[in-house]
């Protein structure tokens, strides 16, 4: 579980290191820091690509309860992107060697908001990857402090959603239930506003990338 006292390396607008700060300080003062994003995608029996995404825990300090990247995490002070890939095992109980992740690129993101009357300014340089999987959603092990559920939706429908061409998509998957954290089937109609607010072009670009990845590679 991420702690309020977790330390980040922080940077200025030009990407130059300026020291370290706690997670709370970085989000409170809007200090630039690095993150790891990994989106999973699977190829269905129908040959279509299905993008996997999580629902963020209600206790998160930014964007609680929203749909988000399958796995994401901050780089703690001194860590590399390769080190941060550990988030896969921690958050969803599954991982692959770092070399099997397919790089999408780096993305600068700035988000502001308020959670439980506490404002935040989240400025991230995100290192984004994709990964093809054949693992059933029911077999992931979710870290309750970070992830409330795991879902999937058709990549083409998600692209249309983020382009404003449809009002919602059907998200099917599993949510955590009970103190023991059982996975129970769940479904929802997901609107674009239910995802973490980002530039819609980010979502369109990554969903196209994942669609093409699912078509071009064999499931591992």
Neighbours of 202 (CB within 10 A): 17
Query: By residue range, what is the domain housing residue 153?
Result: 7-216
Is 93 part of any domain? yes
Please give the average per-residue pLDDT across 23-33, as a whole number: 92
SS3 159: helix
Q: Which residue has the tokens 């404002």?
A: 119
- Quote the DSSP letter at residue 58: T
Phi, psi of 60, rounded to the nearest 5 degrees: -65, 150
User: How does residue 216 score in pLDDT terms, banded at 50, 70 and 90?
Assistant: confident
Is 1 part of any domain? no
Domain count, the chain: 1
Tokens linked to 84: 């941060």
pLDDT > 70? residue 140: yes
User: How does residue 1 score in pLDDT terms, banded at 50, 70 and 90?
Assistant: very low
Q: Contact, 29 vs 98, CB < 8 A?
A: no
The CATH number of the domain holding residue 94 is: 3.90.79.10
Q: Contact, 102 vs 34, CB < 8 A?
A: no
CA 88 to chain centre: 10
Calpha distance 86→96 (Å, rounded):
10
pLDDT digits (tens, 9 = 90+) for 90-126: 999 999 999 999 999 999 988 887 777 778 888 999 9
Is 144 part of any domain? yes
Q: Contact, 184 vs 64, CB < 8 A?
A: no
Is 2 part of any domain? no
Q: Contact, 214 vs 42, CB < 8 A?
A: yes
Calpha distance 61→123 (Å, rounded):
14
SS3 23: helix
Tokens linked to 140: 């992931």
Phi, psi of 87, rounded to the nearest 5 degrees: -55, -30
Which range is least confidently modeled, 65-69, 112-116, 152-156? 112-116
């Amino acid at each position: 579980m991420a702690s309020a006292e977790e330390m980040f390396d922080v940077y200025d607008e030009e990407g130059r290191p300026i020291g370290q700060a706690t997670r709370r300080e970085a989000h409170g003062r809007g200090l630039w820091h690095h993150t790891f994003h990994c989106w999973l995608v699977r190829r269905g029996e129908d040959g279509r690509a299905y993008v996997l995404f999580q629902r963020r825990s209600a206790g998160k300090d930014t964007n609680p309860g929203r749909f988000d990247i399958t796995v994401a995490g901050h780089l703690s002070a001194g860590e590399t992107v390769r080190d941060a890939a550990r988030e896969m095992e921690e958050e969803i109980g599954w991982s692959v060697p770092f070399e099997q992740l397919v790089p999408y690129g780096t993305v600068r993101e700035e988000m502001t908001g308020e959670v439980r009357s506490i404002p935040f300014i989240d400025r991230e340089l995100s290192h984004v990857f994709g990964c093809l999987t054949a693992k059933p959603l029911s077999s992931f092990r979710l870290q309750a402090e970070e992830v409330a559920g795991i879902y999937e939706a058709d990549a083409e429908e998600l692209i249309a959603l983020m382009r404003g061409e449809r009002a919602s998509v059907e998200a099917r998957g599993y949510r955590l239930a009970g103190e023991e954290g059982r996975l129970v089937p769940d479904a929802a109609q997901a609107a674009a506003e239910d995802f973490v607010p980002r530039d819609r072009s980010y979502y369109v670009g990554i969903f196209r990338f994942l669609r093409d990845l699912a078509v071009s590679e064999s499931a591992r």
